[in-house]
Structures are given as C-alpha cells and as structure tokens.
Chains A and B, each alone.
Chain A
Amino acid sequence: MYGGGNTFEGIKTDEVAQEDPILLAVFEARIARGEKIEPTDWMPQLYRKQLIRMIEQHGHSEIIGALPEGTWITRAPGFKRKMALMAKVQDEVGHAQLLYSAAETLGKSREQMIDDLITGKSKYSNIFNYPTFTWADCCFISWLVDAGAIVNQLANAKGSYGPYCRALDRICAEESFHLKYGHHCVIYLASGTQKQRDMFQAALNRWWPPMMHFFGPSDKISVHTEMLMKWKVKMGTNDDMRNQFLDMYVPKIWELGFVIPDANLKKNEETGRWDYTEPDWEEFKRVINGGGPCNKERLEVRRIAEERGKWVREALKTPRTKYVMPLA
C-alpha cells in the first residue's frame, strides 16, 4: 500500500537550467520514447532527488502502514482471517524492502533512509497516522486504502525509472490478493448482523476524510509538477488519481448499502468527474507535520524496534562484508 502524491518539493527550475543541455536532451528523448532510465545512466540532479524522495516515502509507507493493520493480527476474527492478515502484513514489509532497494540504486543508503524516517525528516503516507479502533477499521484499510494504493502503483509502474518499475510490477501482483481479501472481509461485514454493518459504517465515517486526503492536495493548490510528469516521475495529477479511485470504488461501497459521509459526492455527468466536498487541506497539513492522532506512536514503535534490534546487528557485524550500491 502507499499514499500518492503527498509531498513533492517545489521545483526549482534554475536547478535544471544548470544541467548540461545536451545530456538533458538525450535523457528527455529517452523518456519520451518510453525507454527506462537505469541507475548508471546520466540523469538530472532534480530527477534523482525527487525519485529518491518518492520511492523512499513509498517504502516508509509500507513499513508504517503495516502497524495499524498488524495490531489486529492477535484479535482477527478467526484463524482464516488471522492467517490472511499475517500474510498481508508480511507482504507490506516485504514491499518496503523492494522499494528501499530501488531507492538505494539512486545513491541513498538504506541506513540513512531508516534514520530519516525515525527522526521525522522523511514522510510516509498520512493516512497511517489514524488509529484502527475496530476490526472494521482494519478491513477499511485492507480493502480501500489498498485500492487507492493500487491506483497509484499501477500508474507509477509505467514511470521512467527501471528499478522502481520492476519493484512495482512485483508489488502490484501481490496487492491483488490484498484487495480481494479486503473486499471479502467487507462483504462479510455487510451481509452480517446489524452490529457488523454498523461497525463498518462507523469505520467508513472515520476513514473517508483521510481517504480523500490520500491522493494528496488538490491540483488547484498543489505545487507545480509539470516537469515531474514530463520526466514520468509522477504519472497523473492528484485529482486524476482521486477521481479514478472514486470511479472504481464508490459504486462498490454503495452496492453494499453503506453511506459515504459526504452529501456532495456525486458523479458530474457533464464533466464525467466526481464532485465532492473539498477535503480539509489544513487538517492534512497539520497531520503531515506531526499533529495526527498516531504520528508519535508510529515513529516511536519504529524507533524502539531499531533500538531493540541493535544487539542483533552488533552480533552479526563482520568486516568481511561491505555495504555497496545495488546494481539494478
């Protein structure tokens, strides 16, 4: 799973102006032809920087995203759900490994990424700063947050950076299980007792606003990403991704008889796009900057894990091996 387009830095065009114009033209032509960029190819500094940032954030989102769901493993309703949830959480952590490896090919070490996550320098998907009160919250994540992630990931898999695309191809294949599993869980709640239906409806009410935030700020206010789109770092605007998600999943939520807590949500027949109440972007910013209900807990869990793993790393360390950049 993964949160899309959340925090790209503002583009400083003067940075690109300092690049060698001939190399830049060759680079852009290669992307325009649909070819992939590989780690040893020449690339503009800005491309490298933004990709590291994006892939790293994606990796962190997998690691942190495993926490709100992982907390329900011990309390999953029944052995089958427990097995499935364990497999899913294991997948998410595995995805982080693949993504960190892809980011490493751009020159940032894994250790540095882990440190930057713990100190709060790097971000992760905002949606995981909210708590999972009930089993239904966990089902919401498995089905709909993963669905949102898949919308982003399928788009990004067509991007320009070879190692990231290859990691995403693997990840998307595994995500199909998450999505089916999540939908299965929600169908069971929907067709269950009134109490089960109420439980999912309550989860939907809680998670809808963060879900709308998930794809990042509206195009009207988000930083200018034309260059990132041209370089196929970003494959669609935040609003396009949000719209695609609504197109695919609103009908499925309605089909189950649940009420989405936004009276303005409807498909605009003229524009073919969804109308909705503008999400509260101030809340989004507040949570990204550490003000959400679980920010502190998520990072502390990660930091304590790192501290507790220290003796293992200490015991295993050997001068015979050396950290080097991955090949591809």
Chain B
Amino acid sequence: MNSLDPRVTRLPHIGEVGKIVPKASLDQFGTYEVFVQPKEGKPFQHEGIVHAPNLELAYVLAKETFTRRFTCTSLYVTDTRDVFVSPLTEGDKNAYDQITPSVATAGIKKQFEIYHLSKRGKQHVHAGSVEASSPEEAMSAAKQKFNQGKIVFNIWAIETNNIRFTSPDEQELWLTLPDKKFRDAAEYKGGDKLKNFLEAQSKA
C-alpha cells in the first residue's frame, strides 16, 4: 500500500484485498454484562456489554470501555447466560405480577442480586439481594421483598457467585482519573487566546 502514513505503507501483505477467510465459530467471544457503581453509596446499574473469552478479561475490557472517564467507585461483570430475566412489561403492568410464587425448596441457599427496570428506556438498577436455591425462587423471593407497589417493568436475577467483583485493592484503578485532565473538556479553554486574537485583529 502506498499511503501518506509510513506505518500503513509498512503493513505486511496478508491475504487478499477485500476478502476475509471464514472464521471458526469460536472466533466469536462470549458476551458479558457490565454493572457500574457511579458513586459511593449509589446502587450499581447496568452499563452495557463486552465480548471476551473469559470473565477475567471481560472485567479488564469493561474497565477500559465504561470507566475510562467518568467517576466510578466499583465495577462488576457476569456472563450474559447467568442473568435470569423476567418478561418485559409496559404501561401499568408490573413484571412482578407475572412471577408465580414458588415454594421454597430444600436445596442449598445461595445469594442472588436483583435488578429492576423501573423506567423504560433507562438502565436496570440494583434493588438488593435475596437468598434462594434457584433463579426462579430468587424471583419469587424478590417479589416478596422488593415489590412495593411501584411498577417494575423487568427484573433480573444473578447468582452472586457468578459475578466477578472489584476487590478493595483494585478500587485504586479509578483514583488516577482526576489526574487525567487532558481527557476533560474543561482543560481546553481557548477563550482568552481567542479574545486576544480578536482584539489584535480589530486593531490591525
């Protein structure tokens, strides 16, 4: 290639122009949901997804994609397949009304994180956690604990064990953010320079 950019010109010749070799099915990485706590004391909220080959790399990519800039105190990720999802409702229909009460079974109790969508178009926000032996039971337990008449359009239940949390020493990751002023619009004030320039122009 003959480019203005010498680095492009130096690129190796591989394959054929405009052609891609069919990829193996596993070439496509798994999907992981990302949850962020924007400020101390605020609940975690769903932020988006990343694709990664495993939970640990999903965590690293999530940090790069979602917490490069804004304040963040903590972050966690989980495999999308580990999120148990209720039906999505609208208008005055509460998603909890579609959850059938399930009788507590004898299995070992595990903790589940419950997320609510309380405004359509917004993010799912953490409501709290419940103890249950299955995701279905967790939904039912959440109905007892968190269904307080306010309409919830969608509920997610995630087993806490399946979440890759931020450990306390990793929270330092975000401490350097305030130092990276060059990423901040407020660092680019051209007002004075512009004013001086315009004044000089009008005198000339």
A residues within 8 Å of B by Cβ? 30, 35-36, 38, 40-41, 71, 74, 80, 83-84, 87, 90-91, 94, 97-98, 101, 104, 109-111, 115, 118-120, 131-133, 162, 165-167, 173-174, 176-177, 179-181, 183-184, 187-188, 190-191, 255-257, 296-297, 299-301, 303-304, 306-308, 313-314, 316-328
Tell me which of A177, A308, A321 contacts B79 (CB under 8 A).
A321
Q: Is the interface of A mostly helix, strand, loop or mixed?
A: helix
Min CB–CB distance A265 → chain B (angstroms): 21
Is the beta-carbon distance between B65 and A297 smaller than 8 angstroms?
A: no
Determine if A35 and B120 form an interchain contact, defined as CB atoms under 8 angstroms apart: yes
Q: Pick the contact of B28 from A40, A109, A303, A327 — CB < 8 Å?
A: A109
- For B49, give the chain A residue with the smallest CB separation: A326
Query: Across the interface, do A325 and B31 meet the contact criterion of CB distance under 8 Å?
Result: yes
**Residue numbers in A under 8 Å from B18 (CB-CB):** 118-120, 299, 303
Asked if B121 and A183 sit within 8 Å, CB to CB, the answer is: no
Which residues of A sit under 8 angstroms from B182, Cβ to Cβ?
80, 83-84, 87
Complex: A132 Cα to B3 Cα, angstroms: 11
Residue in chain B with minimal CB distance to A35: B120
**Which residues of A lie under 8 Å from residue B7 when comparing CB positions?**
71, 74
Apart from A71-B4, A176-B185, A319-B26, list 17 A-B contacts with CB within 8 A: A38-B154, A94-B65, A101-B49, A162-B120, A165-B121, A166-B121, A177-B184, A188-B193, A191-B193, A255-B194, A256-B194, A317-B26, A323-B30, A324-B31, A326-B33, A327-B33, A327-B156
Q: Given A71-B4, A173-B70, is A306 in contact with B28 using a C-beta cutoff of 8 Å?
A: no
Q: B1, A297: Cβ atoms under 8 Å?
A: yes
Pairwise interchain contact B198-A255, C-beta atoms closer than 8 A: yes
Picked from B3, B51, B196, the residue with its CB within 8 Å of the CB of A323 is: B51
Contacts of A84 in B (CB 8 A): 182-183, 188
- Which residues does chain A contribute within 8 Å of B3, judged by CB atoms? 297
| In the complex, the 7 A-B pairs of residues with the closest C-beta atoms, listed nearest first | A321-B30, A36-B121, A191-B197, A316-B53, A187-B190, A184-B188, A180-B188
CB pair B185 A180 closer than 8 Å: yes
